[in-house]
Amino acid sequence: MNVENENTCTYRREKDIFKDTIIRYLGYANEVGEAFRSLIHVRFVHLSYVVASSYVVADSVHKGYKAAQNTHVPRERRWREVATASGDTLIWQGLASVAIPGFTINRICAFCSHVLRKTTQLPSPVRKWTTTAVGLSCIPFIIKPIDRSVDIIMDKTIRTWYQKT
């Protein structure tokens, strides 16, 4: 905490390279891959999951490293803090950046494709590009609700286990 005067306090949070910079968008690579699934080879969709998963692992390693560097924690507790920080990040990012949004965009695109195929006479390329546009346009709207939901789920489950000890 940085105190400027008696009545005003400002909190300075260190910039998180994985959440506060453009690197954060690597976590959304699989959603983009899913949106383009109808237009690209499945290998590129799988590659998008490799990119997003690499982001998740890198953030987890980074959080574990930061916990290991924390000299305010007694040495005998430090490895527990490292495991907690990296494990929590791995689970949270795995759910909020890869698993849930990838599944969500996949299902939105599949539903859109099905509806267009059953209800329109549009040519296949138009249906595919429309499906991709719908998938891409949904990404900004699903991020915050998914992030909040994962926070709530983890706060009520796994985080209760390691916050008690």
Read off the pLDDT of residues 82-103 as tens digits, 9 standing for 90 and up: 999 999 999 999 999 999 999 9
Q: How far is CA 65 from CA 30, 41, 45, 52, 70, in A?
A: 26, 37, 30, 20, 9
Q: What is the pLDDT at residue 3?
A: 40
- Note the pTM of the prediction, 2 decimals: 0.84
Q: What is the pLDDT at residue 12?
A: 60
Q: Tell me the percentage of the chain whose pLDDT exceeds 70.
A: 90
Structure token digits, residue 159? 């985080």
Q: Across residues 29-36, what is the average pLDDT?
A: 97
Q: What is the pLDDT at residue 1?
A: 38
Residue 100 in 3-state DSSP? helix
Q: What is the pLDDT at residue 16?
A: 86
Structure token digits, residue 6? 């008696």
Q: What is the pLDDT at residue 6?
A: 44
25 versus 59: the higher-pLDDT residue is: 59
Q: Directed axis angle between helix 124-156 and helix 100-119, to 10°? A: 150
CB count in 10 Å sphere of residue 113: 19
DSSP state of 122: -
pLDDT band for 162, please (50, 70, 90 cuts): confident
pLDDT exceeds cutoff 60 at 111: yes
Q: How far is CA 50 from CA 8, 29, 124, in A?
A: 45, 9, 29
Q: What is the pLDDT at residue 87?
A: 96
Domain coordinates in residue numbering, the chain: 10-163
pLDDT exceeds cutoff 70 at 164: no
Read off the pLDDT of residues 3-23 as tens digits, 9 standing for 90 and up: 444 444 455 668 888 888 999
Read off the pLDDT of residues 65-85 as tens digits, 9 standing for 90 and up: 999 988 887 888 888 999 999
